[in-house]
Amino acid sequence: MPNVKQRMEAARKVYETYWDCYTKGELETFASTLDETYEMIGTSESEICHTKADGIKFVKGQIAEIVGKVELRNRKIDVVPVDQLMLVNEHSDIYVLADTIWRYYSKIRISTLLRETEGSWKVVQQHGSLPDIRVQEGETMAIEKISRENLELRDAVRRRTIELELQYRELETEAALERIRAQVTAMQESSELLDIVVTMRTEFVQLGHEAHYFWYMRWLPEKYEKAMTSGDGTRIGMIMSLPRHIHGDVKLVADWEKGHEPVLVFAMDEETAVDYVHKMITLGDFEQVDPQAPTLDDIRHIGGLTFVMARTTHGEIGFSLPGVVPNPPKDAVDALVRFAGVFDLAFKRFEDLKAAEKDIIEIKAARQKAEEALTELKATQEQLVQQEKLASLGQLTAGIAHEIQNPLNFVNNFSEVNRELIAELREELENGNLEEVKTIARDLEQNEEKISHHGKRADAIVKGMLQHSRTSSGQKEPTNINTLADEYLRLSYHGLRAKDKSFNADYKTDFDPNLPMVEIIPQDIGRVLLNLINNAFYACAERGRGETPMGSKTSSGLDDYKPTVTVTTKNLGDKIEIRVKDNGNGITEEIKNKIFQPFFTTKPTGQGTGLGLSMSYDIVTKGHGGEIKVGSAEEEGTEFIIYLPTRESG
């Protein structure tokens, strides 16, 4: 005896046959699945049957509406045993064939009872429902209405498709315009306007519009300036100037140029086109000629020309069509008008670049003049720097002459004494007086030591002068700042004394004995010290003469005035300090703010280049990584302070 599962499978198989025969119109097989007590309840009164015969009759009446036009899809079938019956519940989708296309119609819910009779399962009762308000009395499916609605839907789809195509067309056009705008924005030179013309023709054609030659023309009072693409649109073919009367003689074109209409279609027959092109060739002033341009015979062959032109703020843009085309496509004309608007942006950019290029030319010319002036200024500055160096060297030489005189006097004096001692030595040797000979020999030895000492002193002075006078090697070397400052203090003083016999001043030093050796360029720092010390002595001399830094006279406090210059050094650990102080007139705050500016000087004309302190500032700060400061009080004096990093910190 079959088990429950087998019985459920057998019932389901009959159920599936029932619906398969129903939708295919196979009445005989369909009838074999029905119980004699078959009942059906559908979605309308016409879908009610109480006997097997009624059921067969109903299905027979539905064949024309159902067969080949209805399918059950996405079926979900559950079989449940109920006492001796089987309950089949189904949820599925109904698809109907409308206009050769299977379309979803509705969902359906079906409940069916089957009973086993004489070894086979039969459908006892079936109830189906679907939410279709379109079903009329006597219909199972509203196929005719579906077809009608499908036609309406197809018409709506067609209208929507047209709308979408128009929208897509608009998007394509706007994208083309945006690409042109982007190229306009990227323009770097005015000549790139011609590239914009080529791009416009390319974009215009890619939108599906026909265009042979594409151009822009600028309307000027006396002429037209025109640039036109080649026939294939890949480059600019011709650039020309045309006289204004070439259009003035054509009333249609002349009236359009004077008016405000955005577009003109100038359709020329064969004779008119040949005449127009002939005038353009004979009257035009061509900067560039396209060797592939059509001949007059070519124009005759195509039966004329049509120009479609759109107005811009500066003139026009346009394209040509072969033959006589009095009514070119409206979408092409509309697109040209929009392209004209974008070309206005390009032309504005062109004018801006033209102005900028003119400015650049003027700037380059001005820069050339400035560079020439700068070269001349540098040459003058170099001369002034050399004058400054020579001036300091001259003053240094005078000081050295005085400084070297002392050791030379010692050398000469002791040499003379030694000559006398040698004569005495010979005399005592002849007398055999050895003790006296030894005494004289000791005196000679002491004198020779003094001669050697003062000779070395003279040698050091000469070497210092040579070192100061030669060009700096730029190499830093360990230097005793105390020794360097002392030498230049003395050389400065004696140099000024040699130059001005009336000059007199006191100088003092306060050198830190613990000052470390410092890595400097001796010639450069020597120039700085010499400059500061010279200025200090000059300030003292100026006050001694009763003069102010700007040349005016003063008489305050001259009776007991003692001009003094003081040079001090101090070890600050990571740096050393050098101070050069005078008790001259001092300087005002205004002058102090300008003191390190090149060519600024408080000395009378011809007595200073104004470069000494500027050079000193650069040597200390840029050349040695140090600092230089100035402090001053009027009628009290001025003090310059130099800070140089020590060898240990560098």
Per-residue pLDDT of 565-599, as tens digits, reads 999 999 999 999 999 999 999 988 888 888 887 76
Higher pLDDT, 641 or 48: 641
Supply the pLDDT for residue 41: 85
Supply the pLDDT for residue 337: 95
How confident is the model over 149-160, as pLDDT tens digits?
666 766 776 787
Supply the pLDDT for residue 376: 82
Kindly tell me if the per-residue pLDDT of 18 is higher than 50: yes
Kindly tell me if the per-residue pLDDT of 462 is higher than 90: no
Q: What percent of the chain has pLDDT over 90?
A: 45
pLDDT bucket at 453, cuts 50 / 70 / 90 = confident
pLDDT bucket at 133, cuts 50 / 70 / 90 = very low
What mean pLDDT comes out for the span 234-259?
92
Supply the pLDDT for residue 385: 57
pLDDT bucket at 609, cuts 50 / 70 / 90 = low
Supply the pLDDT for residue 360: 84
Q: Is 376 exposed, middle or buried (0-12, 13-18, 19+ CB in 10 A)?
A: exposed
Kindly tell me if the per-residue pLDDT of 140 is higher than 80: no
How confident is the model over 156-172, as pLDDT tens digits?
767 877 788 788 888 89
Give the whole-angstrom CA distance, residue 589 versus residue 594: 9
CB atoms within 10 A of CB 339: 26
Supply the pLDDT for residue 648: 47
Give the whole-angstrom CA distance, residue 248 versus residue 222: 11
Supply the pLDDT for residue 217: 94
Beta bridge partners of 632: 638
pLDDT bucket at 473, cuts 50 / 70 / 90 = low
What mean pLDDT comes out for the span 136-155?
59
Is the domain 4-141 a CATH 3.40.50.970 member? no
Kindly tell me if the per-residue pLDDT of 399 is higher than 60: no
Supply the pLDDT for residue 560: 82
pLDDT bucket at 650, cuts 50 / 70 / 90 = very low
pLDDT bucket at 649, cuts 50 / 70 / 90 = very low
CB atoms within 10 A of CB 133: 6
Give the DSSP per-residue string, 283-335.
Answer: H-EEEE--TT---HHHHHHHT-EEEEEEE-SSEEEEEEEES--SS--HHHHHH
In what helix (H) or strand (E) does residue 593 lie, and over which residues does it extend?
Answer: helix 589-594
Supply the pLDDT for residue 287: 92
Beta bridge partners of 241: 225, 285
Contact 185, 175 (CB under 8 A): no
Higher pLDDT, 148 or 297: 297
Q: First and final CA of the chain: distance in angstroms?
A: 112
Supply the pLDDT for residue 113: 94
Higher pLDDT, 593 or 135: 593
Domain boundaries, the chain: 4-141, 187-328, 471-645
Strands 214-219 and 223-229: antiparallel
Q: What is the average pLDDT value for the chain, to the nearest integer?
A: 84
Kindly tell me if the per-residue pLDDT of 641 is higher than 90: yes
Is the domain 471-645 a CATH 3.40.50.10440 member? no
Higher pLDDT, 308 or 143: 308
Supply the pLDDT for residue 441: 82
Least confident piece of the model among 183-192, 235-244, 297-306? 183-192
Handedness of CA 446, 450, 453, 459 (dihedral sign): negative
Kindly tell me if the per-residue pLDDT of 173 is higher than 60: yes
Q: Which two tokens stand for residue 32?
A: 């074999």
- According to DSSP H, which parts of 95-249 are helical? 143-185, 193-206, 245-248
Q: What percent of the chain has pLDDT over 70?
A: 84
Give the DSSP per-residue string, 383-434.
Answer: HHHHHHHHHHHHHHHHHHHHHHHHHHHHHHHHHHHHHHHHHHHHHHHHHT-H
Kindly tell me if the per-residue pLDDT of 627 is higher than 80: yes
pLDDT bucket at 604, cuts 50 / 70 / 90 = low
Residues in the chain: 650
Higher pLDDT, 424 or 9: 9
How confident is the model over 369-393, as pLDDT tens digits?
888 888 887 777 666 655 555 555 5
Q: Which two tokens stand for residue 548?
A: 């102010």
How confident is the model over 322-369, as pLDDT tens digits?
999 999 999 999 999 999 999 988 888 888 888 888 888 888 888 888
